[in-house]
Chains A and B, each alone.
Chain A
């Protein structure tokens, strides 16, 4: 038996070659052509003086020096950090709570689920525009509450450079926390019922069971959620364009917008590509090893 299994493998492999390679051609072209060559090309351009059109006048790390000396870039990175940390934390917390409360055998469960998740189906442009309208100082929520008698009430974050980023944050969490809820709810449903019985027998209160037993068991779901949210954070562009346009001032500028602005309107490809490379770096460092471990390294069996 062992020999026949051994023999069948190389034979199969030989047969395979042509059709399989042919069928894999689009994948190979995209994988190598786009995700290797294009990325490489971008990185190379970041070391050149390219302005509106690419050229290969090598300038070493000059663009990176300029980049980190550009206040708009530094502000963008700071904004991204503040926004990213709060966004991920808030989505995880609210998503977890929604999932836990939905998991209590409540009435209208599917109705609540539908409501919590629908924003995720909508585009970030739509999200940005709706929240911009509600945060409008003279006609939006602020005005309604003030008219009800609470004269000093303020809720127009988008007009103040100090709070605009939190206005964007509210919209982003509104759009994405349902996603975490859906993933976590699936995770909760996947947990063995025996755990609950055991903790009940031991007289452990429900909240403690959730916090100290169930939550640690949900590690894979949490990692998935964080990866998904983090990818969205680095890419955040549409929401900013629709809701604030990066303003007021530079208060909601983001790296993704910095790159697009520099390769289009500002015609400064070298600097834009240096910024893009900086965006790539954390992704490469975190996702690279994970992909390698999970998918590339041949599985043993």
Chain B
């Protein structure tokens, strides 16, 4: 054995690697446990009954798993005076998210296209201003927007909240599409121009079919972002259109008397389900969306 070790530099290496390998896996597994605990706790709590929860065994598996809390969270849980469960919020979120995502992507893609191929005087300046909007704390613009929407009669309406999400989605959507179109070869555009295609023809016939991958990223980015929004929904959506996140917080906060932790946790899971599903199904696109959100040209 010693001879082999002396013979070449390859000798001790594997042994050393196994020790550090073990360290790597210990680190990764402990990190994985830390990240899993909340999801695990949510899940087991939502499947327990209240007597079992009162035993205080947070991590114990449910003795008699039941979906009763889920049913209650979906259809009967009370937020404020109403007791229709979180389903109202779910459908509100659907009604808010779908048009907001569609409109902000349509506008963002046209903006990005105009910015990459049809620059006009001042277009860089406009884009700079728009980009600045991606960083402005919402708090700075919310009040003037409340007043504006009140003036035009859209405050507290579905249209109003969709408009707001479109406005706040525009910087990042424009940036995303601008960067994508900028990466396409210039010749493509020039050839179409030589053939006499105009602004919209080039957009619909050449650019749109080419931008399917980036559109997928945009859809993921916007859907999770808008679904997870709390502040804008709270302020602009109005009583009848409160999104799921707001309703969830109301349900958890306004439970009088006995706090039904199982129902609260079931409602929490239900709220997280849509973005989680998007994340798990879209994989790499989600990460790409994040990288795009990182505002890096």
Contacts and interface: CB of A to CB of B under 8 A. Distances in A.
Interface of A: 12-13, 16-17, 19-21, 23-24, 26-28, 30-32, 34-39, 41-42, 45, 54, 94, 97-98, 101-102, 104, 106, 112, 114-127, 129-131, 133-134, 138-141, 143-144, 147, 174, 178-179, 182-183, 186, 220, 224-225, 227-228, 231, 234-235, 237-238, 241-242, 245, 255-256, 259-260, 263-264, 269, 272-273, 275-277, 279-280, 283, 287-288, 291-292, 294-298
Chain B interface, >50% SS class: helix
Contacts of B127: 27, 31, 295-296
Interface string B33-54: 0111111011001000000011
Contacts, number: 278
Interface stretch (B73-81, B94-102, B261-269): B261-269
Contacts of A134: 37-38, 41, 58
Contact of A35 (B24, B45, B136): B136
B192 interface: no
A81 to B, nearest CB: 16
B5 interface: no
Contact of A123 (B21, B57, B230): B230
Interface residues of B, number: 97
Contact of B32 (A115, A227, A237): A115
Contact of A26 (B111, B113, B283): B111
Contact of A238 (B34, B42, B230): B230
10 contacts: A28-B126, A30-B167, A35-B130, A38-B140, A102-B28, A118-B39, A123-B271, A280-B136, A280-B137, A295-B127
Contact of A42 (B45, B143, B230, B248): B143
B175 to A, nearest CB: 9
Given A124-B228, A125-B248, 16 more contacts: A12-B193, A20-B118, A24-B120, A31-B129, A39-B136, A45-B143, A112-B28, A115-B36, A123-B229, A125-B271, A129-B248, A139-B261, A182-B290, A224-B296, A225-B294, A269-B143
Given A139-B53, A174-B34, A280-B140, A144 B59 contact: yes
Interface in B179-196: 193
Given A24-B111, A228-B294, A296-B125, A287 B132 contact: yes
Interface in B120-162: 120, 123-133, 135-148
B291 interface: yes
B128 A291 contact: yes
B24 A101 contact: yes
Nearest to A225: B294
A39 B140 contact: yes
Interface in B245-297: 245-246, 248-249, 252-253, 261, 264-265, 268, 271-272, 275-276, 278-280, 283, 286-287, 290-291, 293-297
A121 B140 contact: no
